[in-house]
Structure formats: structure tokens, C-alpha cells
Structure 1
Amino acid sequence: MDERLIPVEEHLVERMHVLVYNERSQMGAAAAEAAGQRIRDLQGKSQGPVRIVFAAAPSQNELYEGLVREQGIDWSRVHAFHMDEYIGLPAVAPQRFGNYLQERLFSRVNPGRIELLGRTGNIEEECRRYVALLNEAPIDIVCLGIGENGHIAFNDPPVADFADPLLVKSVELDEACRTQQVNDGCFASLDDVPVQALTLTVPALMAGHYLFAIVPGLAKRAALQAALHGPISTACPASVLRTHPAITLFTDRDAFSS
């Protein structure tokens, strides 16, 4: 392994493997190497597609830059999903998460199959459509982040349900979540941020065989500490990640506080 990708700290928090890096760039490169190796391993064991759910957020930028450079991945044998999408934005809006993924990753590696959320205007119909796609086969890998309010996907504290009977649902975004979208530079003001979205639920994310969480930056420190050391509770939805049997969390010094 490249010495630059060796973590400066390594922890086991319940079942979660936590790797801490000095720099955000090192964190992203290490996460891409680990995710890329997992994809290659899975492709070596099966002729079927590797089914991956991808998050869309600035926190994932370094991961996707690294995945574009990873060698030996047969992207034609990757079935790509994304995990959440705003309701009400025009199809061409740059803030749409599907457009982010197309620009940052999909258009550069050309997965064999891409399933974007939010393609139909009827919310109930779209949820049913996407659930059917998710149920075609198990999800192999989920690449996700943690929000400033502890959300995973758009499962904010008021709507997160660890035993949700649904795999995909519409939700109302809480103000902390919408404020983060402004802080991230995605929207000019809070009024511009949609109040509703579609999201994969917590059980849908936790059903992935392998989870890679990428959580950089000072703005994520409080949420990360709650996720790692607080009660496992929907008050911090990301806390449930500690119970997954095969999760690795990549973070940097700014976000991690021992």
C-alpha cells in the first residue's frame, strides 16, 4: 500500500472499522482504493453485475475522483443506483443528485446500468418503481456520507426509522438538513432548497453487503462523534451504522476528535 494511504489512527467502534487520515485527499484516495478493491474482488467471484448505491454530496468528491482512476474495474459489470433525490427541481438543475453523479462519476466510467431516482413525476409510482429495481438482487456495496444533523441519505432525525417497512419513501427535509445544502454551496439561500425529497430508507442502506462511509471536514465533527459514541438512536441516524457487520468509515483529522 502507498504509505500516504496508511491511516494515522485506526479504531474499532463496535462493528465499525474507523480509519483516520491527516488530510482529506488521503482519506478520499484510501476510500477509493478500498472500494475499488472490493469491486474487483466481487467481480472476480461472480459473472453477475456488482450492484452499488452511491451518495451524492461534496463530501464524496475525493472518493469519486479516486474511483475514476482505479484500474482493473470492469464498469460495464457495475449496476449503479443513487440513494436520494430532491422533489420539485427541474431535470436539468445542477443541484439534482443524479446530475451530480452523472458529472462526477457515471459519465467518466460508464457503468453498464444506471438507475436514477426521481425519473417519474408521480411520487408513489416512483417509489414502487425504484423498490422493484432494488429488489432485483441484493445490493453489494453502499458508498455513503453522514450529514451535519447525523442523517444518512435523507433519513433526517424526524423521519428516520431503523425498522422502516419501506425501502424508498418521500420525506420532508428538516431545517438543519436544508441549511447544510446552503453551507455546502449547492443553493444560494434556504428558500431555494426543496422541502421534500425521495430517499432510500435506513433498512435499504443497511442491507448492503459492504458499506463505505466517507466523512470529512470540521462541519461533520459533532455528527461523527454522535454517530461513533452516542446512543444508537434516530436522534443521530448514522449511529445505526455501528451495527453493520461490514462497514469501514474513512475520515480526516478535521472531522475526527478522539
Structure 2
Amino acid sequence: MEVVIAPAGELARLAADAVQGLLTARPGVVLGLATGSSPLAVYDELARRHAEEGLSFARARAFMLDEYVGLAADHPQRYRNVIDKEFAARVDLAPGAVRGPDGLAEDLPAACAAYEADIAQAGGVDLQLLGIGTDGHIAFNEPGSSLASRTRIKTLTRQTREDNARFFGGSVEQVPRHCLTQGLATIMSARHLVLLASGRAKAEAVHQLVEGPISAMWPATIMQTHPHATVLVDDAAASRLQLADYYRQTYAGKPDWQGL
């Protein structure tokens, strides 16, 4: 696991560089898209590069991490709509190139199995963008989630619903109680994981992710076993890291050609 500590704007640039490098080498790349606050600056940077530098996503495909269960198709916080607004509609992704779990399906377990099959048929995800919750969840894999889990329905914790209430006018009761989410094993199948976190509120979760024991109580810790995982954090999110100076020294001495 590589840990990079830098200003938030620099972190977004680094993540965008990784995506652009893949697109340049293989235009048909498969991306994993996350919602929430953490990836927004990355989407802004990628949209800028598309508009100003001609970066093309025309042959790329993308899979979303998760989706609320039961939100109307036109609800602004339905994750399919969020991803379209924040990213897909701002670049040249082809119609239908972005897939997500179907939170309105009549048969939710069947929808989850179909989504797993879609990812496999696409050849798997090449680069998965991730954020992390204050309780250590990635996607909607809450504390206690199986480390071997696949796409499934989950009940959201009170903490996660409180954290997400800001997207629902500050009302926890408006936040759905259930979601469909890629499982931890599904996420771990991606070839490169890129997690972004900023702010002191994420400091304990980042500390556990990077330096704590692997545990279902902090689901993101499973990333310690991934062969190509990158953690991009600002100073505030890195404030609990015991080896922060070492991570800074390691990154400062990294060969330019190596990339993330």
C-alpha cells in the first residue's frame, strides 16, 4: 500500500493522472466510480482535461460502487443521477457506458448477481476510485461486513445516514435505510485501488486503514492485502498516522517514471 500525503488539490491531480495514464495506454479501460465528497475534485479535473485538453472517455466503460434502494429514478440523490451530473455528462462517455446496481429492481438479490456478472463480463475494473467513511466503510460495506462479500443489499448504520444527511437537506430520516453495494471482495478484484480522504474527521479511519489490524470492524483495512493500493490523503486526514514522516520521505524519493 502506497500512502501519499499532499494538499487536497494535488491529490485530485494525482488520481486524474492515474486515470489519464490508463486511458492513454488503453482507451477501452474500465473505471470504478465512487460517489460522496472525496472523488468530486477528481471528476472536476478529469472534466477539465476533457474540455481543455481533449482527454477522451469515448471507449471507456465504468461501474458504480453502490446505489440506494428505493429512491425514485429521478431523485437527485440517486447515485446514478449524481454520477451523471458530477462526471458522466461532463465528458464523452458513450450512452450506457456507466452501469450501476439497480436499487429499484423487484428482485434485489438477482439484480446484485447480475451486476457481478456484468463486471466480470467487462473484464473487471482497471482502476477503482474510493472514499472512506468515518467508521472505516468503503462503498457501503459497514463495520462487520464480510471481507469476502460480493454485491448485495446492506442496511446502513445510523452513523453513515447521519454523515449523508447533508445531501438530503440535513434530514437523517430522508436518507434511505438500505442500499446495494459492491462487496469487499468485489472491490478487491479491481486491479488498482485509489482511495482519497481529506479532513480531520477521516483521520482515525485513515489511521486504521493504513496502520491498524485487518478487521471487519474497519472494512477498509482489507486494502492492506491488495497488490496495488494507493491512499491519497491531506495533512488533516493523515494527522493520526504514526509513520507519516516515513510516507512523506518515501513519496519524495519515488522515481518520476513510476507513477501511482
State the TM-score, normalized to the length of structure 2. 0.84
CA shift in 2, pair 1:105/1:91, >3 Å: same
1:41 to partner: Cα distance = 2.4
Partner of 2:30: 51
Among residues 12, 17, 24, which one is paired with 1:40 in the alignment?
Answer: 24
- For the 8 Å contact 1:35–1:212, the answer to whether it is kept is no
Aligned to 1:207: 189
Task: Identify the structure with the greater strand proportion.
Answer: 1
Q: Is the 8 A contact 1:169 1:200 kept in 2?
A: yes
Does the CA contact (< 8 Å) of 1:144 and 1:211 recur in 2? yes
> In the superposition, relative to structure 1, how do residues 169 and 119 fare at CA in structure 2: closer, same or farther (>3 Å)?
closer
Distance 2:31 2:168 in 1: 24
Q: Which runs of 5+ in 1 are unaligned?
A: 1-15, 44-48
Q: Which residue is 1:223 aligned to?
A: 205
1:241 paired residue number: 223
Identical positions, percent: 30
Q: 205-214 or 23-32, which moves further after superposition? A: 23-32
AA aligned to 2:93 is: P
Within the alignment, does 1:180 sit opposite 2:163 as a pair? yes
2:78 corresponding residue in structure 1: 96
Are the counterparts in 1 of residues 71 and 103 from structure 2 also a CA contact under 8 Å? no
Q: Structure 1 residues 236, 119: closer, same or farther in 2, change over 3 A?
A: closer
SS in 2 for 1:142: strand
SS of equivalent to 2:44: helix
Task: Name the SS for the 2:3 alignment partner.
Answer: strand
CA-to-aligned-CA distance 1:160-214 (integer Å, 9 cap, x gap):
11122xx3100111111111102x4444221111110000000110100111111
Question: Of 101, 111, 116, which residue of structure 2 is paired with 1:131?
Answer: 116
What are the equivalent positions in structure 2 for 1:15-30 lying under 5 Å apart? Answer: 16-21=1-6, 23-30=7-14
Counterpart CA distance in 2 for 1:93 and 1:33 is: 32
State the distance in 2 between where 1:186 and 1:154 align: 17
Give distance in 1, aligned partners of 2:103 and 2:114.
Answer: 10
Task: Give the Å deviation of 1:69.
Answer: 2.2
Q: Is the 8 A contact 2:56 2:91 kept in 1?
A: no
Instruction: Check the 8 A contact 1:27/1:250 in 2, yes or no.
Output: yes
What is the distance in 1 between the residues matched to 2:169 and 2:34?
A: 18
RMSD value over aligned CA atoms? Answer: 1.6
CA change 1:90–1:133 in 2 (3 A) is same
* One-letter amino acid matched to 1:135: A
> Quick one: which of 67, 84, 89 aligns to 2:46?
67
Quick check: 1:120–1:126 contact (8 Å CA) kept in 2?
Answer: no
* Match in the other structure for 1:114: 98
**Residue pair 1:214, 1:251 contacting (<8 A) in 2 also:** yes
Q: Please state if 1:153 is matched with 2:139.
A: yes
Distance 1:181 1:57 in 2: 8
Letter in structure 2 aligned against 1:18: V
Deviates more, 1:108-117 or 1:144-153: 108-117
Distance in structure 2 (CA, Å) of the matches to 1:77 and 1:194: 34
Deviates more, 1:29-38 or 1:228-237: 29-38
SS of 1:62's partner is helix
Deviations 1:87-112 (A, max 9, x none): 11111111111111100100011323
How many pairs does the alignment contain?
A: 233
Q: Report the alpha carbon displacement of residue 133 of structure 1 after superposing the two structures with TM.
A: 0.7
Distance 2:168 2:214 in 1: 30
